[in-house]
Structure 1
């Protein structure tokens, strides 16, 4: 498990396994696709549970005030979320896969694949983008897992176990990043 550390210059860094980078790249790309498809004028789309978690009502007990507030803030909030997820992808570097989906230079005959860890170095602004995107990712996954307010998932099938592992891993990444900047 990687651990973020802050250096004297103020940057925060960690060494990620290539599979971790691939996972982060994959989920951040999926978040970008989800956010890019949001139409803030489409009430049906905004009512979807995952979108409601990402763009919650400011006034849950007053639909008229919530709609008015959303009219003025949703586009800006959405743009910020898109920019943050894009910054995460940028910090992860280029995807070094060829069109077959295999890592560059990798063939099916290669029985040993021992890639080196990938250094991730974040400045102060990138740290904030990462923290916000990790929160957004966990919100979407929490919705998918039907996580209750106490943090317990209420789905128990094979796919949910995998999603829950990703949810928990993203939480560990986020926690490590928070601890690193809190020093």
Structure 2
């Protein structure tokens, strides 16, 4: 994977395996958020924390008015990744790159939750899923850096 600035946006070079992995992870994330049958309570609690931790009624009311829109925005962001991640060069304008960065946060949270990461400072350990977690973090960091660069 290589990332650089290009015409006011970002250019990412993906190997086929990298693009395929991102697409699979994006679909998994959308499925978990969209389908109540796939209830992943730790992930959903991380993605949609209670706004009022000491007031369950207020938290429920807040969730009633905001949850659907938040879910939709997160799903649209990961769908943007699955629609554009491909082998070779992927060119993202600034808006698409920002959408990718937000989506990568959600996808990385999903992987981190599966690894048992609950707080800053928790380490992912070792193994294939931990390597994916680290790779997503690197991709996100370099993408944000390219967006903020000169």
TM-score normalised by L of structure 1: 0.74
1:141 & 1:62 partners in 2: Cα distance? Answer: 29
SS in 2 for 1:4: strand
Q: Greater helix share, 1 or 2?
A: 2
1:27: which partner in 2? Answer: 25
CA distance in 2 between partners of 1:137 and 1:151 (Å): 18
Q: CA contact under 8 A between 1:35 and 1:82: conserved in structure 2?
A: yes
Partner of 1:142: 112
TM-score, structure 2 normalization: 0.89
How big is the shift at 1:38? 3.9
CA contact (8 A) 1:25 1:89 kept: yes
Q: Which whole-Å CA distance do the structure 2 matches of 1:139 and 1:150 have between them?
A: 12
Quote the offset at 1:161 in angstroms.
Answer: 1.6
1:89-125: CA deviation from partner (whole Å, max 9, x where unpaired): 11115xxxxxxxxxxxxxxxxxxxxxxx611111122
Structure 1 residue 152, shift from structure 2 partner: 2.2
1:124 match:
94
* Partner Cα distance (2:11, 2:28) in 1: 24
Q: Does 1:177 pair with 2:143?
A: yes
Normalized per residue, which structure has more strand? 2
Larger radius of gyration: 1
Partner residue of 1:72?
A: 65
Tell me, yes or no, if the aligned pair for 1:88 and 1:126 is still in contact at 8 Å. Answer: no
Q: Partner residue of 2:52?
A: 59
In 1: Cα distance, 2:106 partner to 2:4 partner:
23
Q: Confirm or deny: 8 A CA contact 1:88 1:133 kept in the other structure.
A: yes
Gaps of 5+ in 2: none
